[in-house]
Amino acid sequence: MYYRGIADLSDDVRELAHDLPDDIDLVIAVPRSGLLAADLLSLYLDVPMTDVAGLCRGEVFETGDRHAGTVSMADVDTALVFDDSVHTGTEMTEKRELLSEEEFPFDLEYGAVYITYDGHEYVDHWQEVVPTPRVFEWNVLHHYHLHRFCVEIDGVLCRDPAEEGADDEEAYRERIRNAKSKIMPNRRIGWLVTDRPETYHEETEAWLDEHGIEYDTLIMRDRSDAAAHRGIDDRAEYKATVYEQTGADLFIESSEPLATEICARTNRSVYCHETAEMVRPNRIEELYRISTDYLSMFRERPLRFPVDASEQVVDRVVNRIQR
């Protein structure tokens, strides 16, 4: 899973600003995620900024003292329509078609910070090719492939009720009911994972329903694990097992030590919400895991191996296309 964070975005926009032509004097953001990238670029280039709708109205964003007064479109030689990323090119193509219907007294060019291998067909300028599967810090919990992710509840979707202790059962139930929400995904989650024992299923489900969180499966600890679930080794093993058994594309974990342990045990990428970093497996170990999967498949059903292996390859390709 390829990943870029906001710090990466800032660095990459700065590098791109150094390589752009000198005649760009207006940056046009493609909403919504393109606003952040365009804002950074306009600051690095020290030029005004607007969005696509504003451009069609002949308006630019207010900029304070740096660009005091009104910026006239007649002063613009070249404007850059800018987005954070290009995947299939659909969004950028739509913007090209929309803007082609307008008559501007300046040239339009198109750019993005990150593109896929085919993305150069849709833009004139880009900084880096980041292939799929990929996620960004600003969309990881709103990603259109969230239905293929495992997501920890405590520390990601809400404040962890266990931070204040879980020995008093009734007090713990109350903290679950009133847990303060953090980030609310706007897409359906594949697997919600929590260290909470099944004893608190009703309260957990009620909180999720109250906050409008959609999901396919809620995975909680067995009641017999209530006392054992607090150790990091046990918690990491539990979550690593869930990650492997579900076949999820990504695990989103709140704790950095746990994210590191889950990654180490599965040789699969884990996103740490606490640090906004992608914890990655060693590539050699990852390839070893994949080859081991194929070997196990062959041993279990040797006659079916060509068909099973082909289906798995097709699934991987389809997942990449869908992303």
- Cα gap 51→82, rounded to integer Å: 9
159 contact partners, CB below 8 Å, separation of at least 6 = 179, 180, 182
Is residue 308 over pLDDT 70? no
* Confidence at residue 323, expressed as pLDDT on a 0 to 100 scale: 33
Mean pLDDT of 120-133: 95
Q: What is the pLDDT of residues 187-232, one digit of tens each?
A: 999 999 999 999 999 999 999 999 999 999 999 998 665 554 568 8
Distance of CA 119 to the CA centre of its chain: 19
Give the confidence band of 278 by pLDDT, cuts at 50, 70, 90: very high
CA 8 to chain centre: 13
Residue 286 has pLDDT above 60, yes or no: no
The Cα–Cα gap between 132 and 126 comes to 16
pLDDT for 316 = 47
At 297, which helix (H) or strand (E)?
helix 283-300
Q: Which range (36-40, 68-72, 129-133, 216-220) has the least confidence?
A: 68-72
Residue 268 has pLDDT above 50, yes or no: yes
pLDDT of residue 321: 38
Task: Find, among 81, 209, 186, the residue nearest to 139 by Cα.
Answer: 186
Q: Give the pLDDT confidence of 164-187 residue by residue, as tens digits.
A: 665 678 888 999 999 999 989 999
Contact predicate 150/250, CB 8 Å? yes
Q: CA 283, CA 289: separation in Å to the nearest integer?
A: 10
Name the band, by pLDDT with cuts 50, 70 and 90, for residue 163: confident
Whether 317 has a pLDDT exceeding 50, the answer reads no
**Alpha-carbon gap, residue 113 to 38, rounded angstroms:** 9
Residue 310 has pLDDT above 80, yes or no: no
Cβ atoms of 55 and 30 within 8 Å: the answer is: no
β-strand partners of 19: none
Is 117's pLDDT higher than 70?
yes
Which residue(s) pair with 150 in the sheet?
191, 251
pLDDT at position 106: 94
How confident is residue 284, by pLDDT bands cut at 50, 70 and 90? very low
Q: Residue 302: its pLDDT value, please? A: 76
What is the separation of C-alpha 1 from the centre of its chain, rounded to a whole number of angstroms? 10
Q: Which of 97, 160, 124, 152 is nearest to 273 (CA)?
A: 152
